[in-house]
Each structure stands twice: as C-alpha cells, then as structure tokens.
Structure 1
Amino acid sequence: MNKMFRLGLLLLSLSALLAAPVQAERLKDITSVAGVRTNQLVGYGLVVGLDGTGDKTSFTSQTFRNMLNNFGVAIPPNVDPKSKNIAAVAIHADLPPFAKPGQPIDVTVSTIGDAKSLRGGSLLMAPLKGADGNVYAIAQGNLVVSGFGVQGSDGSRLSLNVPSVGRIPNGATVERTVPNAFAQGDSLMFNLNHPDFTTARRVAEQINNLLGPDMAQALDAASIRVRAPRDPSQRVSFLSVLENLEVQPGEETARVIINSRTGTIIIGQNVRVSPVAITHGGLTVAITENLDVAQPNVLGGGNTVVTPRTEIEIEEGSGRMFEFAPGATLSDIVEAVNQVGAAPGDLMAILEALKQSGALKAELVVI
C-alpha cells in the first residue's frame, strides 16, 4: 500500500465519518462546571540512591547540606558534599477537584541539573505548593523510570526514551483542601469545551424542557447558567441528572487544518470550494458549476427542483504530472484525491492558494 493510496483512504474514511448525522452528546462530555477544576502543584526535592548517575551542581550540594543540617549532621564549611548518587529535581502534580486531606495523587519528577538518569532513585519528602504559595501535598517515594541510558569508557552512549524523568504513582498525599464555589450561590455555570452559539442555545433549551421554563439561560457562546438548589446534597443529585442529559451539538465551523511538520491534512464537513481555475506545476484544473432544472411530471404533480452540477476539466502540461481537483463539496475533494493521488505538500500549496484567492469557504489553520 503506497503513500498516495493511504492518504486517499484516510480522507475517504474521514468523509464518511463526517457525512454521518451529528450524534447527541452527554452534557458531561461537552461541558465543564465553573469552579470545578484541577490545580497545578510544584515543588523541589532530592532524589537519592542513584547508581552514579546523579549531578554535581552547586545547588544540589547546598540542598544536601541543608537536609543533613536538619537531621543534626554538621558538615565542615570547607567540605563540598558532592555525590554522584543524588540529584536535584523539580516535582509537579495536578490536584484534582474536591481532593481531601489524606488522598494520594500521582507526581512527576524531572532533573534540573546534569543528572544522567533517575532510574533506581527514591524521592525524599518534599512539599508541593500551589500558585498562592501554600503547601497542598507532600511527595515521597520510589521512582518509576521507563527510559535508561548506558555510556562506555570511550564516550559512546546509548539511551532509550528519557531516563531523566520519572513518575511516582500515588506518590504524594494531599494535606490541604482547595476551596471552590460549587456549593455557593443559587446557580451553576456550565462552560462548553468548544464554544458555539447553537450548542449553547440547545443546551439551555434541553434543560428548560426537563426542568421548566427559565431554569437555564445561555449567556454567550460558552456559558449556560442554570438555577440550582442551595442544599449541597440536593445540588449533587441535581447535577447528576443534568450531566447525563443528551444534547445534539451544533455543526462545527468549516475548517481545514494543516500540520506543516507531518503533512497531515484534516478537512471539515462543511468545507466548500467556489468555481475556480487552478494551475499547479504542469497541471491546470478548471471547476465550473451549472444549475439543472428538473421539471415534475405534469400528471403526477410535484415541485420544480434546481440541482447544482459541478464540472471539472483537467489540462495536463509537460511539467510535473500532478492531478488534484477540489470540488464544490468535501466529497468532491476526497474523490479527486482517491482517483489521482496527491502528495501532502502539493495539497498544502493548493489549499493555501485557494484560501488566499477567496475560493476556499473555510477557515485555514496551519499548525
């Protein structure tokens, strides 16, 4: 299976998927409740027990000296406690909403010095602080490192993955609760993960159909305010019902996404191309649209119907042979790619030119 055929098959599968009717989604899958969020924690600590893969930076020595002083071990000022078996690390974790003291959370540990690997090391007790400077968790435990590295005496080196980063499952214990506004006020706010005016209106209508008029109000394309009971226990049951409510989201904005690094091209469902002539290398493509009028049977009744008909003319020159015929709809684009095959770079160049000319009726996003 060559590269061109795989690209055409991918776009064909995508068109079939996008052509399917939009399915209803649960409210919990397309929204989040305002105030119910994770909080980032960060800390600094020491990893010990390394097999000669630690660092010798000055701040590592200073941290090690301070730790020993806390345990009553005094190191002479003229002695530099450098060791290849310790490493200074940065620690970060996400504190989930409603986390209570005593609950464990996962932490990620990364070297900040010149340590070669954290494999086999153990993190000593280290506080994790939030943006407000308060300590919300304490981390400690043995690291799980997926990568490893070896180095020969001649300077040769072999490494797999990243041995300077590790994780400690359940490696921190929550010490402080983060207050939130979930149980405050007489309303809840739902925020759409992807703001859309149509979706916001439909969410409000579905909630009002279930609970009664004026219970929900769409404030903008992202936020829907819902009146809620003040009692916390009733509010939990109330939200449990709402988050399983199914809503049909609005159709996405017509958009073409191009990844310039990998050559990946995603074409949205509502993308349209106006009649236009394209010359790319030695190829000229002309696209025209005609309107056909279908008259009903005089005796059978019916209505007169106007149907668009797209015609594509291709003229090949003596240059590089490449055929790509963007049509009036996504299906025409996919059909042209499957019939001829086009390199991702050629598709990018044509789509960008179509956007500049105004013929591409979609937002072009390059990542």
Structure 2
Amino acid sequence: MISRLFSAIVLVLGLAPFLAEAGVVRLKDLVEFDGVRGNDLVGYGLVVGLNGTGDGLRNSPFTEEIMSNILERLGVNVTGEQFRPKNVAAVLVTASLQAFARTGSQVDVTVSAIGDAKSLLGGTLIMTPLNAADGQIYAVAQGTIIASGASAEGDGASVTQGVPTAGVIPSGARVEREVLFDLSSMSTVRLALREPDFTTAGRIEKAINNDFGRAVARMQDSGTVSLDIEATRMNSVAHVLSRVENLSVEPERKARVVVDQRSGTIVMGEDVRISRVAVSQGNLTLRIQETPLAVQPNPFAEGETVVVPRSRVDLTEEDGPNLAEVSGGASLSEVVAGLNSLGVSPRDMIDILKSIKAAGALHAEFVVR
C-alpha cells in the first residue's frame, strides 16, 4: 500500500507543469535593497482590566513597581500602601517599525506576559513607550488586546486552549519618531539576495542590464549585485527601484531535502539526485505476553495456592520485499517510487534518507528540523 506521503508527493508532481510556469520570480521577492529595512522595537508595560487572571503580586514584584510608577505619574500617591489586585499583569510589548514609516502612522504590536498571569483576555495595554536598539523612543503603544486562547480552572483540574498569555493589538502603536534615512542621496544601491547563489546573481545582473540597455548592474559576489544609480539616467533612486523590483528572474535553487522528525514531513526539491544504491528495510515485531497460572492443592490436602508465572514470546517479521534498488541519477519521482516499494512509513523513510546521505549516495543538502 502506498503511503500518504507518496500520495502527497504525487500531487505535487501532478502540479509540475504549473510550477514550471511559476519558476520566474519578481526581483522584489528575491532580494533586499540595501538600507530599505525595518527596525525592531520593544517596551515594558502594564495590562489592566483582567478578570482576576493577572499577576500574583507576591510572586511578581516588578508588576507592583510599574503599577506604582504609573499611578504616581497620574497624581495618585501610593507610597507605603499595600495593594494586591489580581486584574493587572506586566508585559513585554514588541513591534516592527517598517521602512520609511512616518510620524503618525500606526503599526501592529504583540503583547506577552512575563509574570504568572493566567490570561490576557479582555485586558487593555496602558500607554507604553517602545524603544529601538539605540535606546530612543520611536513609538507609543496602547489599546485593547486580542488574545487567541482560553483557560478554565477548577479545584482539581484546569484546561488551557491556545496561548491566552500572549496577544496582539492591530495598529496598536503610533510612530512618534522617524528613522533618519535619505534614500535620494545614494549613488549606488546594493541588492542583497535572500538566498545567495552565483547563478541567480548573474541572472539578476543580466536582466537589469538588458532592461536598461546598458551596464548599470554588476555582480559583486553570490549574495550582492550593485546598481549604479547615475548610469540609469532616471530622476531618482525611488524611480529606479520601482522599475527594477518588477523585473522577472528565474532563480537557481540548490538541491535540498528537508525533514521534520516531529511530524514526519519530508520535502524534496526536483533537483535531488541519488546515486545507484540498494536499500534494505526490515520490520521485526517482538511480542511478550504474560499469562500467570494459579496452582491449587488437592481437596482436603495441606498446602496453599501458588501463582506460577508463564510468559509467551513471539518474534515475527512482516512479509514484503526486503531489498530495493535505486538506479544512479534517479529523479525525485523515481526516488520516491523506489522507497515506497518497500512499504515504509514516512518516519522510516526519514531514517532511510539519513542512511543514504551517510553512504554518500544522496547528492543534496540534507536539512533536519
């Protein structure tokens, strides 16, 4: 019987004609433009309005500290007071400031509890400054948290679905400071390939030069192509990038096999090749069954009942082919068909692929996650 994995791969192979047409990719999906990047922000804040699922202030003293600071800034003196509400929680707030984000624009934020709060459902984040790596405040976050999860707890049991201690606030932060970056002053822009490859970089250089009709791009290495802005004779850098990013290039991919041992998933590229190799896969099953026997003395005889242990051991081997041969230079479909001829499961196939790689017969990058 062919495994479910083989059926999934056959489906992918059936889509091969459509995937071949989709082999050409826009340049904007292959490279990053030098200087056009986002910046990570982080802040420390307080969530209020929780339904008794907040931090236990005895175990989270930092929550009490930030709550006291916020109340004092609002004119409430709590020095020396003892209060331990259960509807507040200390959180870390993270966000990504997109390139060219301007003052007043809004970005999404993620809120995560750092104390022993059980849930952030229904909570509201109080005004939280967000800092970048340079220590400057670039945005301020505030709003109602949307948490995906639920939890319930009784006297003897509890149940949790999802992660109720983390949530998001769509457009929850407003940009207060812009990242200083003058794109128009650049005379040369570098295109950084997300997956460095000399062949792909050469094709990018050729596509750009053909589009402009002259040498404006030059490949520096496998991951970088430099673009001379002055040689393009266009009005601005932005106009050049808007023209270049929509050019189509066919990227060159490495032969790669990716396996996920937790889920038993195997993904192989079409360029994977295997040298001639024979694969043997055995399946032994050992069963041990305990059937104790009670022995009693004869009627009216002296003695006691004794339990005599008895064990039954069976060692069986499933029928089926034990050896399969994969011819040299086999393609993806031939490799899968050869392995499935053994009737192995996806997890057993992962072990077989590891052994083939160790034998030097698998000519591809082998990635285990």
Q: TM-score, normalised by structure 2?
A: 0.83
Q: Which amino acid aligns with 1:58?
A: P
Does the residue aligned with 2:148 lie in a helix, a strand or coil?
coil
Match of 2:150 in 1: 148
Determine if contact 1:110/1:165 at 8 Å carries over to the other structure.
yes
Match of 2:310 in 1: none
Q: How many residues end up aligned between the 2 structures?
A: 329
Match of 1:102 in 2: 104
CA 1:319 to 1:52, structure 2 compared with 1: closer, same or farther past 3 Å?
Answer: closer
* Counterpart-to-counterpart distance in 2, 1:168 and 1:282: 52
Match of 1:198 in 2: 199
Correspondence 1:52 to 2:52: yes
Match of 1:259 in 2: 260
CA 1:14 to 1:272, structure 2 compared with 1: closer, same or farther past 3 Å?
Answer: same
* Counterpart-to-counterpart distance in 2, 1:82 and 1:325: 71
Pairs within 5 Å for 1:321-360:
321=320, 325-327=325-327, 328-337=330-339, 341-360=343-362
Determine if contact 2:277/2:325 at 8 Å carries over to the other structure.
no
Q: What RMSD in Å do the two structures reach over aligned CA positions?
A: 2.4
Pairs within 5 Å for 1:145-294:
145-152=147-154, 154-180=155-181, 182-229=183-230, 234-250=236-252, 252-281=253-282
* Counterpart-to-counterpart distance in 1, 2:113 and 2:278: 56
Determine if contact 1:44/1:89 at 8 Å carries over to the other structure.
yes
Higher mean displacement: 11-20 or 317-326: 317-326
* Counterpart-to-counterpart distance in 2, 1:40 and 1:326: 49
Higher mean displacement: 219-228 or 79-88: 79-88
The runs of 4+ residues in structure 1 deviating greater than 4 Å are: 16-20, 229-233, 317-320, 322-325, 337-340
Q: Which amino acid aligns with 2:27?
A: L
Match of 1:12 in 2: 10
Determine if contact 2:184/2:236 at 8 Å carries over to the other structure.
no
Q: Which amino acid aligns with 1:120?
A: G
* Counterpart-to-counterpart distance in 1, 2:283 and 2:77: 80
User: How far has the Cα of 1:345 moved from its partner?
Assistant: 2.4
Pairs within 5 Å for 1:112-131:
112-131=114-133
What do the CA deviations read for 1:90-139 (whole angstroms, capped 9, x no partner)? 10011110000100111111111111111111111110000110000001
User: How far has the Cα of 1:65 moved from its partner?
Assistant: 1.1
Does the residue aligned with 2:259 lie in a helix, a strand or coil?
strand
Identity of aligned residues (%): 42
User: How far has the Cα of 1:278 moved from its partner?
Assistant: 2.6
Match of 1:72 in 2: 75
* Counterpart-to-counterpart distance in 2, 1:198 and 1:37: 25
Determine if contact 1:281/1:320 at 8 Å carries over to the other structure.
no
CA 1:236 to 1:155, structure 2 compared with 1: closer, same or farther past 3 Å?
Answer: same
Unpaired runs of at least 5, structure 1: 284-316
Match of 1:36 in 2: 36
* Counterpart-to-counterpart distance in 1, 2:357 and 2:31: 32
* Counterpart-to-counterpart distance in 1, 2:148 and 2:109: 15
Q: Which amino acid aligns with 1:35?
A: G
CA 1:44 to 1:359, structure 2 compared with 1: closer, same or farther past 3 Å?
Answer: same
* Counterpart-to-counterpart distance in 1, 2:34 and 2:141: 29
CA 1:322 to 1:163, structure 2 compared with 1: closer, same or farther past 3 Å?
Answer: farther
